[in-house]
Chain A
Amino acid sequence: MAEVRLKNLTKRWGDFVGVDNQSLEIHDREFLVLLGPSGCGKTTTMRMIAGLEDPTDGEIWIGDRMVNDDLPKDRDVAMVFQNYGLYPHMTIFDNIAYPLKVRGTPKADIAPKVHEAAEKVELTQFLDRKPKALSGGQRQRVALARAIVRTPKVFLMDEPLSNLDAKLRVTMRAELKHLSREMKITTVYVTHDQIEAMTLADRVAVMKHGVIQQLGTPDEIYNDPANLFVAGFIGSPAMNLINGSVQDGMFVTTGGTRLVKVGIADRADVILGVRADDMNVFEPGEGDIDVTIYAFENTGESTLLTVQWGKQRVIARGSRHLRKNQDDVVGISLSPEHLYLFDPETGVRIQAE
């Protein structure tokens, strides 16, 4: 049980900056997700917390102890690796027991704890096998069991689901969520998958180029993105970004279509962000603007309409019963309460007045 505090943490390799002067406070028992594309510094941040990487600058605190100079073994953390990091020469039992063994747990206590952890991840019938004899999902469970077999101060998970196939990932995600709510241990979770971040996190830190772009609850990240990067990164399909300007309080596309009223002062260059879900589809003439369908996709639970809008293409989500054909014309209107405006130069969100 402990909070983790990063103070002005920096990691540089020569000229390359991995993590750039970041401060972050992870609350006790919080599930924090570091989210970002590859190379954004999220894994480096986690490895510095684990002690597998030395920070170039800044401080790492776990609980009330600065751990910069502590070896990984002295930090009392448990880590789940992307490719599991199981010991191939040990049985599953020995793999799970290893953290207990090296920390001098009395022999008599080890077996019950290993069985308890194995039970939590439903592995009890595989304890005599070697990792090689297990499937990817089972190996991931072993790695998880090895982390939860003792009660560390902090859990660190480095893309633990990314080597699993899509179906297994969904079930393991739910299991992870269930386990984490049950164990209530401070967890730092690294992923590039926004769905994992949205579903698992208490709070998400979105990172890019070694800098945290936004820190907030999944709700805040999704509904109140701080900048263009966060807006574009979160959500599937990605948020539509439309270039234009603001004239007389109205957003006008570069093509000259006056679209919706936005609550900001007039300016020449602006990017309007709108999610597919907030683009409403109507019959021709009934929306704000008529557009031609470039592609119509039926995903089962909804329909996706890629429409040609001047020189740009945008995606709107229609109801699951909507049936249209390519080159059909539909009407589109935007929900004014869910529009985001960004400065194209800096990417910063322009808040309505």
Chain B
Amino acid sequence: MRDNTLKYLLVLPAVLVVFATAIWPLVESLRLSFTVGRLNKPNFPQGYLGFENYTWAFWEEPAFWNSVWVTGIYTVLTVALTTLLALGLAMLLAPGGRLRSGVQTLLILPFAMSPALIGVSFRFMFNPEFGLFDAFFGAVFPPLADISWLAHPQLAFAVCVMADVWGWIPFLTLVLIGGLASVPPETIEAAQVDGASGWRVFRDVTLPQLAPVLAVVIILKSIFSLKTFDQIFMLTNGGPGTATQTLSHYIYFNGMKYGQIGYSASVAWLMVIPMIFLTYAYAKFVFRKAS
């Protein structure tokens, strides 16, 4: 057998698995998005509707726009906060920074937790009767005690953001530490000798050289934020009301809970659009760096 044939044969099983578990469902969901697709009615998927599911989401469903809004704000806040805090931590933890390995290991810990677990543990921590934060505020600042954090729309949203930032900082910090390590130290020293203050060294020399890594971090985190589901599902289940209902949660609810597979497939495909842009940008940055 020619090597050429053999090499395709060897890859074939992997391609088949990916095709069956990723490509086919993707195509099938696109097909379903043009159907009635009610799970709770006979003769699934009950014929084609054209773009009606899409127009329905756009013009007739405030809940869709609510989840778009929630996802947008959530993404902007979590990306900004996580990146900024991770950058600060990375500066402290990087070789030559002010903190070292013992602390480093400790700070990586949240990353070892699954997002669903983070959701559960934050739900307990914000429990108004026996939660950590209730106890903390009760001792330090009593007016803030006994607040039902997760029952208040804005507070619940803030808690979701906080849990996400908490969970993602370690990973982003690690990536940024790597990025900082690749900044040649003599460029920083040259700037110091040239007369730049600490802040100007950071702004003029460190940050521009970190920009490619920072871009990758921001794009990656945006993708992760946009598709957040498990944590929200465990922490607030989209509530109170729909105050913390992200797009993926909305899709899940409509598809799995209300049985509107056709409709939720169409919303899922709407979500694919920003994802494609981000993935494209990510690939562009990563491969530009590699080449």
- Report A's interface with B, CB cutoff 8 A: 50-52, 71-73, 75, 77-79, 81-89, 98-99, 102-103, 146, 156
Contacts and interface: CB of A to CB of B under 8 A. Distances in A.
A87 B191 contact: yes
Given A81-B186, A102-B200, A87 B192 contact: no
B193 A78 contact: yes
B190 A85 contact: yes
A98 B194 contact: yes
Contacts of A84: 186
A89 B190 CA distance: 14
A231 B172 CA distance: 55
B86 to A, nearest CB: 22
Contacts of B208: 87, 89
Contacts of B192: 51-52, 71-73
A81 B196 contact: no
28 contacts: A51-B192, A52-B193, A71-B192, A72-B189, A72-B192, A73-B195, A73-B197, A78-B193, A81-B186, A81-B189, A84-B186, A85-B184, A85-B186, A85-B187, A85-B189, A87-B190, A87-B204, A87-B205, A88-B184, A88-B209, A89-B209, A89-B211, A98-B204, A102-B191, A102-B194, A102-B196, A146-B190, A156-B193
| Size bracket, chain B contacts | 10 to 19
A77 B192 CA distance: 10
Interface of B: 184, 186-187, 189-197, 200, 204-205, 208-209, 211
B209 A99 contact: no
Contacts of B195: 73, 99, 102-103
Contacts of B190: 79, 81, 85-87, 146
Nearest to A94: B204
A85 B201 CA distance: 13
Contacts of A72: 189, 192-193
Nearest to A77: B193
A149 B114 CA distance: 55
Given A79-B193, A85-B190, 7 more contacts: A50-B193, A78-B193, A87-B187, A87-B208, A88-B187, A102-B196, A102-B197
Contact of A86 (B187, B193, B200, B211): B187
A102 B195 CA distance: 6
Contacts of A102: 191, 194-197, 200, 204
A163 to B, nearest CB: 12
Contacts of B211: 89
Nearest to A52: B189
Top 7 nearest A-B pairs by Cβ distance? A85-B190, A85-B186, A99-B194, A72-B192, A89-B208, A79-B193, A73-B195
